Amino acid sequence: MVTKGVGEVNLIEAAKRAACEQAVKDNFSPSFKYVGIGSGSTIAYVVEAIAALGPEVSSSMKFVPTGAGSTKLIRDAGLTVLQVPELLAEVGFSGPGTNRQYLDIYFDGADEVDAELNCIKGGGACLFQEKVVSRLSKKFICVADSRKKVDRLLTNWTYIPIEVSPIAAELVRQALTDLGSKDPVIRISPSTATYLVTDNHNYLIDAPFPTLLLNSQAELIDPAKGLWTPDALTAKIRGILGVLEVGIFSGPTGPQATVAGPGVEGVKPVKIYFGKPDGGFETQE
């Protein structure tokens, strides 16, 4: 295991904070009613920046979490939590024809982000609720430190997190191996040393995919570029019996309700803020 020195940790935290403070400054409005809050360590700085605006700004808003961790984060900051089912009851979720983008904005981190704003998410085990909240939002603003920025997914981050039913986990693992994944593993919780159980009572499989192998599979390839596409890999993995959701956020860039094709919905960010260790930032949209 590689251990980071205190100095390096501080620089990474400074980068995360820089991204989040700027993202809130540029995108947050006192007129918002519903705000989605993602999971992980970076998002804490978004919540901090929103709380710093004071109750006169935030007390009229409700904050929709993406799991137990973000629920606690919102609550601890003195903000009002509204879970997704309560949100849908409150807005009077109705039948066909409604746009279903009820949240004014959704902030969240990512494990890796590519040049087209596709993301890998789920390192923090919350990918399913994150995808639901993104789907219900007008726009997803992503915050990350600059280590997460790559041209193509699976460059530095090597695996796709996949949420699966516990009873089908072994079947899914075998199907992923058939798809070319190298040693997909059921994630172990560092705190219990047994299988990690998600907020939805499922397991996670972390599936490494060598990109050379993905690029050799005709059905995953964009013929114009000769490279695998995040949409095609998502659809392929989603088709495995026992998979609840895949930690690839792809599809069209907002509005989130746009449907890109069978099984692929627009859940990826409209803009990314990459924080730098010197406290600066860059954006990508």
Ligand X SMILES: O=C(CO)[C@H](O)[C@H](O)COP(=O)(O)O
Which region, judged by CB under 6 A, interacts with ligand X, from 27-35, 54-62, 104-112, 180-188? 104-112
According to DSSP, the residues that pair with 175 across neighbouring strands are: none
Binding track, positions 169-188, relative to ligand X; x by CB under 6 A: --------------------
Assess whether 130 carries a catalytic annotation. Answer: yes
| 72-101 binders of ligand X (CB under 6 A) | none
Return d(Cα 127, Cα 66) in angstroms, integer.
8
Smallest gap from residue 23 Cβ to ligand X (A): 13
Q: How many residues bind ligand X (CB under 6 A)?
A: 17
For residue 99, give the 3-state DSSP assignment: coil
Smallest gap from residue 30 Cβ to ligand X (A): 26
Q: Which of 8, 13, 56, 130 is catalytic?
A: 130
User: Taking CB under 6 A as the rule, does residue 126 contact ligand X?
Assistant: yes
User: Taking CB under 6 A as the rule, does residue 125 contact ligand X?
Assistant: yes
Binding track, positions 27-46, relative to ligand X; x by CB under 6 A: -----------xxxxx----
User: Taking CB under 6 A as the rule, does residue 111 contact ligand X?
Assistant: yes
Contact indicator for 38, 66 with CB cutoff of 8 Å:
yes
State which residue, 161 or 254, has the beta carbon closest to ligand X.
161
Contacts of 192 (CB under 8 A, 6+ apart): none
Tell which residue, 156, 137, 147, 123, has the closest CA to residue 270.
137
The beta strand positions in 76-202, using DSSP E, are: 105-108, 112-113, 119-120, 140-145, 159-164, 185-186
Among 21, 104, 108, 231, binds ligand X (CB under 6 A): 108
User: Taking CB under 6 A as the rule, does residue 109 contact ligand X?
Assistant: yes
Return d(Cα 79, Cα 62) in angstroms, integer.
7
| 208-267 binders of ligand X (CB under 6 A) | none
Give the ranges where 81-192 is alpha helix by DSSP (H).
84-91, 127-135, 169-178
Tell which residue, 149, 162, 174, 142, has the closest CA to residue 238.
162
Smallest gap from residue 178 Cβ to ligand X (A): 26
Contacting positions for ligand X (CB under 6 A): 38-42, 108-111, 121-127, 130
